[in-house]
Amino acid sequence: MDLDGFMSDVTRRNPGEPEFHQAVREFVEKVLPVVTADERYVRARILERMVEPDRVIMFRVVWEDDDGAIQVNRGYRVQFNNAIGPYKGGLRFDPSVNLSILKFLGFEQTFKNSLTTLPMGGGKGGADFDPKGRSDDEVMRFCQSFMTGLARYIGKDVDIPAGDIGVGSREVGYLFGQYKRIQNEWSGALTGKGPAYGGSPLRTEATGYGCVYFAREILARADEVLEGKTCTISGSGNVAQYTAEKLIEMGARVVTLSDRHGFVHDPGGMTLEKVRWVEELKTVRHGGLEEYAREWGAAFHARETPWSVPCDLAFPCATQNELDVDDARTLIANGCRLVSEGANMPVTYEASKVFEAARVSHAPGKAANAGGVAISGLEMAQNAMRMSWTREEVDERLRAIMRQIHERCVEHGYGSDGWVDYVRGANVAGFLKVADAMLAFGVV
Ligand code: NDP
Ligand code: 2IT
């Protein structure tokens, strides 16, 4: 079995799904030596089985907008793999959502969840709905119709969705309310819930905080610290906000944030006050970052990404394929030594090779952003126990989980030249647990 042969089968069987092909290629390339070295994996055709989702659910979502016009969207849930626990993963509401994107995300989620050390399988869902410019009432009606279609397929021991792009606490509230109404049962079938109704402390912050904790672990191996480091961040949503907050708390200098319209460059460094202002801008007023430039006297660069700004550490926290080969070369030329992915697959396949060749520490999303789903796992545990832990307890567990993920990545990614291939480490460590569970089940 060779990579190109394997990939030509995957491409043939999944036509027109470039993001899914990309995620599979990156994974298979790194785990193939482990698979071919173990006859049990080869005989069981474990890789061929892993790239095939357990099932894909697609459904019509019809709702009425504020003008009384009927709107039609498409809803999805990809239940990718439940070998080690119930399907778990976010919901994305964005006009770009399609099957390729959700299959790539569900595939990644399977190995990310395996890395968290918690018993969770992988899934992902969403809709091609654009919440931008929609009233609260419209978002509520959309969420209710979406959940009416989805409710029969999920449940606390079956499949537990959460947020992702375009799905934050407002949407989870509407989704959970409708789920509860349909099932006539309070159960933790969604995570990312509000504090009043079963949400875990720190779930909102967990992805961004975890991404910074992971970067700290990488630096610690080289006896370095975050304090004083200049950091670029893309995105200005949930993950970007809390990545920025934790970096600032730890004494780093955050100089950029971005959105769909461009990026803001604040060379003096952002403050916690400015980041909280961004949170209000994005979650309450749904405004654009050019307002930041006016409010705080910084520069706004329309239609550009932040990777031209010199930095020590880069945190891509917006979306897939937002950092390409030219960006990677520019970052390296400007002295960047570490990339920690808050987003899922933000670095193109080719850009990833550029980082590898230059021996940049490149923490892939399935390791670096696993803190979010890890705290979702702790939310499920708290719901099942009918109790809740304190913020401090959850933070302590989050730090410990990110430390363990880092250790597993080093264990499987350490090379003879002393450089850690975090992409290999994360993929191999994530793979092993899922593969061994699948072997144990026989031919299913
Ligand atoms: P949000 O919707 O809160 O924020 C997304 C941010 O990315 C926004 O600033 C948005 O810009 C920007 N963005 C989205 N699409 C594009 C695009 N095509 N081009 C440029 N900018 C874009 O989402 P999250 O912060 O939750 O998610 C960000 C990333 O992190 C995603 O890749 C997600 O899969 C990943 N992730 C999220 C987790 C979570 O717990 N939420 C957990 C692990 C990973 P604008 O403000 O203009 O809309
Ligand atoms: O990509 C991700 O890990 C998420 N969007 C979070 C998933 C979750 O179930 O908390």
CATH number at residue 285: 3.40.50.720
pLDDT score of 278: 98
Tell me whether strands 338-340 and 55-64 are parallel, antiparallel or unpaired. unpaired
pLDDT score of 293: 95
Cα dihedral 177→179→182→185 (10° resolution): -90
On the question of pLDDT at 332 being above 90, the answer is: yes
Distance, CA of 253 to CA of 156 (rounded, Å): 41
**pLDDT category of residue 276 using cuts at 50, 70 and 90:** very high
State whether 130 and 236 are in the same domain: no
Domain hosting residue 91, numbered range: 3-185
Q: Is residue 373 part of a domain?
A: no
Any ligand 2 atom below 6 A from CB of 166: no
Q: Is residue 419 part of a domain?
A: no
CA of 212 relative to ligand 2 center, distance in Å: 17
Q: Are 235 and 317 in contact (CB under 8 A)?
A: yes
Any ligand 2 atom below 6 A from CB of 168: no
State whether 128 and 247 are in the same domain: no
On the question of pLDDT at 277 being above 90, the answer is: yes
Task: Encode pLDDT of 84-96 as tens digits.
Answer: 999 999 999 999 9
What count of Cα atoms within 13 Å lies in the side-chain half-sphere of residue 343? Answer: 22
State whether 256 and 315 are in the same domain: yes
Active site residues: 124
Q: Is residue 383 part of a domain?
A: no
Q: Is residue 114 part of a domain?
A: yes
How many domains does the chain contain in total? Answer: 2
Any ligand 2 atom below 6 A from CB of 395: no
Q: Which of 107, 129, 239 to mutate to test the pocket of ligand 1 (most atoms within 8 A of CB)?
A: 239
CA of 263 relative to ligand 1 center, distance in Å: 14
State whether 350 and 255 are in the same domain: yes
State whether 234 and 274 are in the same domain: yes
- Nearest ligand (C-alpha, residue 342): 1
State whether 181 and 288 are in the same domain: no
State whether 149 and 231 are in the same domain: no
Distance, CA of 261 to CA of 305 (rounded, Å): 9
22: CATH: 3.40.50.10860
Amino acid at 93: F
Mean pLDDT of 40-65: 98
Q: Is residue 160 part of a domain?
A: yes
Q: Which of 110, 260, 280, 284 to mutate to test the pocket of ligand 1 (most atoms within 8 A of CB)?
A: 260
Mean pLDDT of 420-428: 98
By alpha-carbon position, which residue is closest to atom 21 of ligand 1?
A: 260
State whether 269 and 156 are in the same domain: no
- Nearest ligand (C-alpha, residue 241): 1
Q: Is residue 190 part of a domain?
A: no
- Nearest ligand (C-alpha, residue 112): 2
Ranges of H-type helices in 250-364: 272-283, 290-296, 325-333, 349-357
Which tokens belong to 40? 């049990």
CA of 4 relative to ligand 1 center, distance in Å: 32
56: left (phi over 0), alpha (psi -120 to 50) or beta: beta
State whether 132 and 163 are in the same domain: yes
Q: Which of 111, 319, 375, 376 to mutate to test the pocket of ligand 1 (most atoms within 8 A of CB)?
A: 319
Q: Is residue 122 part of a domain?
A: yes
CA of 166 relative to ligand 1 center, distance in Å: 7
What count of Cα atoms within 13 Å lies in the side-chain half-sphere of residue 308? Answer: 8
pLDDT score of 116: 98
Mean pLDDT of 230-243: 98
CA of 252 relative to ligand 1 center, distance in Å: 22
Mean pLDDT of 279-307: 97
By alpha-carbon position, which residue is closest to atom 10 of ligand 1?
A: 259
pLDDT score of 51: 98
Task: Encode pLDDT of 355-364 as tens digits.
Answer: 999 999 999 9
- The pTM assigned to this predicted structure is 0.98
Q: Are 246 and 270 in contact (CB under 8 A)?
A: no
CA of 152 relative to ligand 2 center, distance in Å: 21
Nearest Cα to 24, choosing from 54, 58, 65, 52? 52
- Nearest ligand (C-alpha, residue 91): 2
On the question of pLDDT at 29 being above 90, the answer is: yes
**pLDDT category of residue 298 using cuts at 50, 70 and 90:** very high
Final residue before a domain boundary, out of 328, 363, 398: 363
**pLDDT category of residue 345 using cuts at 50, 70 and 90:** very high
Mean pLDDT of 171-193: 97
| Beta-carbon count within 10 A of 281 CB | 18
For 190, residues 6+ apart whose C-beta sits below 8 A from its C-beta are 154, 160, 161, 162, 172, 175, 176, 179
Q: Is 40 helix (H, G, I), strand (E, B) or coil?
A: helix
State whether 272 and 351 are in the same domain: yes
By alpha-carbon position, which residue is closest to atom 9 of ligand 2?
A: 89
Q: Is residue 173 part of a domain?
A: yes
State whether 176 and 210 are in the same domain: no
Q: How many residues are present in the chain?
A: 444
Final residue before a domain boundary, out of 304, 330, 363: 363
Any ligand 2 atom below 6 A from CB of 90: yes
pLDDT score of 1: 79
Final residue before a domain boundary, out of 185, 215, 249: 185
By alpha-carbon position, which residue is closest to atom 1 of ligand 2?
A: 90
Distance, CA of 373 to CA of 267 (rounded, Å): 32
Element at 258 (helix H, strand E) = strand 256-259
State whether 146 and 45 are in the same domain: yes
